[in-house]
Amino acid sequence: MIEASASMFQPRQLECAHGRSLTLGPQGVLMAIVNVTPDSFSDGGQFETAEAAVTFGLGAVEEGAAILDIGGQSTRPGAADVTPAEEQDRVLPVIAALAVRTEALISIDTYHTETARLAVAAGAHIVNDISGGTAEPDILSVTARSGSAYCLMHTSRRADTLSDPVADQFAFLEPALKAARAAGIVDNRLVIDPGFGFGKGSEDNLEIMAHLERLHELRLPLLIGTSRKRFVAALAGADDNLARDFATAATTALLRLAGGAIFRVHNVAANRAALAAADAIISRRYGDRS
């Protein structure tokens, strides 16, 4: 088993579309969630217009977000499917506007190939695919040709899920990464996401958190998405967003200490503070990693 070590916090470059890159390792990086949807589990309907979403995104950058993750389809269980065309109508104006108004990186949260292609053309730098390339496999080659970074998420929403949640991470991620590489996505453009909450019970999520260091065996940066998830609410013992944000910040600090690189969050300010505390401990433990 790989324990937390200084190597997890050494700088590495994540290469992205449009000639951009992002340094990962020495400090935790915040990815702000911008849901341009009417029905997302936490903030659906918050942005009635593209301009409202843009304003929120710009505010998130001021609070410390380095990446803005733009999504046009809710991924909560039971959410209605959205056609690619409807998804594109929601997200493309937001991406195009943000691309000319901020230097922050822009991520498109989609598993639709055509949405990913158009989003990168509109200015996105990263494709964030919750299906790990399984929903529409052509998204892998499209992403490779675009030069964007690719966040590949583990999902337990499949028939062959293993009962051991940590073993299942490898059972899914290893072949998914092989497919991504075969399509032309190189390692300095790859990020993996354990997929907290996606088809996983509370005990599964806790088991993965407790053994997150294991995933460093895959030698890629980790994206952490615990923000306001149902199991986080259970940890908090309350179900309002404030309690969820407190518990999310705690998981952010703990999982940063375990080597998480990017943290996808709703409340940027709270998680910025959590990362500052964790990074101070990492600096004291391992010294300068620049």
Contact 173, 218 (CB under 8 A): yes
Q: For residues 208 and 176, what is the distance between their CA atoms, to the nearest angstrom?
A: 18
Question: Of residues 189, 229, 244, 272, which has the active-site annotation?
Answer: 229
Contact 188, 205 (CB under 8 A): no
Catalytic annotation, pick one of 228, 244, 264, 272: 264
Residue 229 bears catalytic tag: yes
DSSP collapsed to 3 states, the chain: CCCCCHHHHCCEEEECHHHCEEEECCCCEEEEEEECCCCCCCCCCCCCCHHHHHHHHHHHHHHCCCEEEEECCCCCCCCCCCCHHHHHHHHHHHHHHHHCCCCCEEEEECCCHHHHHHHHHHCCCEEEECCCCCCCCHHHHHHHHHCCEEEEECCCCCCCCCCCHHHHHHHHHHHHHHHHHHCCCCHHHEEEECCCCCCCCHHHHHHHHHCHHHHHHHCCCEEECCCCCHHHHHHHCCCCHHHHHHHHHHHHHHHHHCCCCEEEECCHHHHHHHHHHHHHHHHHHHCCCC
C-alpha 169: how far from its chain's center? 16
- Determine whether 272 is an active site residue: no
Task: Cite the active site residues.
Answer: 229, 264
